[in-house]
Copies of this chain bind each other. A is one copy, B any other.
C-alpha cells in the first residue's frame, strides 16, 4: 500500500482544521458529523474558539497533545499553505483539503496549489484540494459536507466508490442509502494535487472491507495517467472486480468535462478498448454500476453464459429473455428429459422449456422444486428469478428457499417490480441472505452479464 493511504482510510486520530459549529456551513457539517460518528480520537482546531459543542478547541494542530494521523482542512484557500506547514511540523500523515479556491478558479489558485504542494514536501500526503473527501461507513469518517437531512449515508458494505466528481458521489451515495446498497467507502479526489485515482485504486484493492470497486471517471489530465491507471486496473482485476462508468463520451460532453474537471475526456472508443483490456467491467450509469457491484460482491462466478429464467408471469418472462439476450447471454431450451421431470410435478399449464413459466397459480413450493431440480444439472450457469408478491400463492418464505439453493454455487439474482409489503419483506430477506434483487429487468440482466464477464476475465468461463 502507498505510504499514507492507510492513514486516510483508517486514521486513529483526526484533526479538523477550521472546525466550527456554524449550522449549514461546510466546516459545521463536517465538525458535527465527525464528532457524532467517527470511531477514533478527534481534535478540533480553530484559533477563534476555545470550545465548540462541548469540546476543547486547539489554536493550531501543533498544540494537539497526541499524534494526528489525518487532518481535515476546511479553512479558506489562502490560509492553507500555513496550515500545511504546521501539519508538516506536527507529523500529520495525510491531509484532506476540502477547501476550494485553488487551480479550479484560475492562475492565482494554481499558484496557491503549487505552494501547498511545496510546503507539504510529500511528507504530508494530500487528498484534494477542492474535494468532498472521504466517506467510510466502517469507522464513521465522513467529510461529505452535506447534512444528513439532505443526503442519507449508505450502510457499511463491500462496495467502494472512487469518484472524480464530489457532487456525483454525494448524489449516488444518497441514492444507494435509500436503496440499502452497502457502499462502505467512497472517495473523491478533487484537484488531485497528490493522491490520484491510481493510488486510491491500489489502496482499496488491498482493503479487506472492499470486495468490489466502482469508479466514476470523466477524463484524465495528463497523458501518462491513462497508462498508469490501466496498469493498476489490470493488477487489481486479478483480485477484485472493477466496475467503471466513464462519462464524457461525445464531443459536446467532452466540452462539458473540460469545464467541469479540467480533464480531457479523450476518445471514448479508445477508453472502451483500454478498459476492456484492463479487465474492467463497463456500465452506462452509476446506478447500474452499484447494482452490478451488488451482484459481484455476493455471487459466485458462473462457468458459462446460460441463464435459467423462472417466472410467475409469462409476459415478464418474455421481457426477461429479451433483456438477458440483449446483453449477450443465452436462455437455452432445457433438454426433454429434464422438462419431463419438471412436468411430472408441475401443474399442466406450467411451461417448462425455459423460461419456466409457473403462471399466476405459482406457489413458493413450485419455485423450490424447479430450483432444486434444475440448478444441480449442467444445463445452466446462472438463474434469474422473477417473482411477484401480488399473487395469492406467493409469500416472502420463497426468499428462504432461494437463499438455500445458493449451496449449488451458481449465481442467482431476483427481479420483482412489486413494492407491496410482502414484496418488500421478500426483497429485504433476500438481500440479507446475500441474493441481489432488482426492480428493472435491464439491471438484472446487466448484473448477470457482469458476473459472466468477470468470470471470463478471471479465466473461469469461456468467452462466447
Contacts and interface: CB of A to CB of B under 8 A. Distances in A.
A398 to B, nearest CB: 15
Contacts of A332: 252
Contacts of A284: 442
Contact of A260 (B174, B256, B265, B318): B318
Contact of A253 (B174, B257, B322): B322
Nearest to A250: B325
A149 B392 CA distance: 12
B314 A390 contact: no
Contacts of A111: none
B421 A149 contact: yes
A174 B313 contact: no
Given A248-B322, A322-B247, A441-B285, A146 B390 contact: yes
**Copies of chain A in the complex:** 2
A105 interface: yes
Given A171-B418, A390-B174, A317 B256 contact: yes
Contacts of A247: 315, 318-319, 322
B419 A321 contact: no
B349 A260 contact: no
B253 A353 contact: no
Contacts of A167: 312-316, 360, 388, 390
A37 interface: no
A285 B265 CA distance: 31
A355 interface: yes
Interface string A301-345: 000000000001111111101100110001111000000000000
A250 B253 CA distance: 33
Interface string A277-291: 000000011010000
B420 A150 contact: yes
Interface in A417-439: 417-422
Interface residues of A, number: 74
Contacts of A315: 163-165, 167-168, 216, 218, 247, 260-261
Contacts of A316: 167-168, 171
A292 to B, nearest CB: 15
Given A252-B330, A285-B440, A174 B318 contact: no
Contacts of A319: 168, 247, 253, 285
Nearest to A325: B250
Contacts of A312: 167
Given A174-B419, A390-B174, A318 B248 contact: yes
A260 B314 contact: yes
A132 to B, nearest CB: 9
A256 B390 contact: no
A249 B353 CA distance: 17
B313 A390 contact: no
7 contacts: A150-B391, A165-B314, A256-B318, A259-B351, A260-B318, A260-B351, A285-B440
